[in-house]
Structure 1
Amino acid sequence: MYNGPGGGLYNGPGGGLYNGPGGGLYNGPGGGLYNGPGGGLYNGPGGGLYNGPCNNPYHSNWPPPHMLLKYLEDTNMTSIVRLLKSVGYFN
């Protein structure tokens, strides 16, 4: 697991554990937890959950679910854990 810039375990800008704009834990436009167009939880074209054809496919920089869950619990990010569990991410 890479924890340097851009890595799934990186908590700085662009990282999988970053909760600011563009990060894996960001719930605003373009973020990993955003369910609108272009977000990681969006199931339409350009979204992370889209399963149709795409010229520019989404590439996840999230760590494996069990590692993400441990990190979120260790850092007391309970609201994010609840959100991810509510959409079945850890199932």
Structure 2
Amino acid sequence: MEINKEEFFYYLDREYKKLELIFKNIKFLDNRFEDFLISYYKDLKYFYEKKDFVKAFELENYIWGILDTLINLRLIEVPEEYKKWFKLFI
């Protein structure tokens, strides 16, 4: 299967921008997870800036999974306008 590069970079950039907004506005209700999640976000930024886009894309997906889990367990809060980006089960 051939990867469409334009589509890959579109999704990479779109999710990167969404994560930037979330991390500027996230509220941790349980600080035990703050350092853990922030470290993954810093890794994402590092790989993105180094143009290691495959690792950055993998981290984006991993971070979204963690965020989905934390928001559904009510361990984080995000502004209402960003909740549409989550798989909310609550």
Q: Do both proteins adopt the same fold according to a TM-score greater than 0.5, normalized to the shorter chain?
A: no
TM-score (norm 2): 0.29
Q: More helix by proportion, 1 or 2?
A: 2
TM-score (norm 1): 0.29
Q: More strand by proportion, 1 or 2?
A: 2
Structure having greater relative contact order (Cα 8 Å, sep ≥ 6): 2
Q: Which structure has the bigger radius of gyration?
A: 2
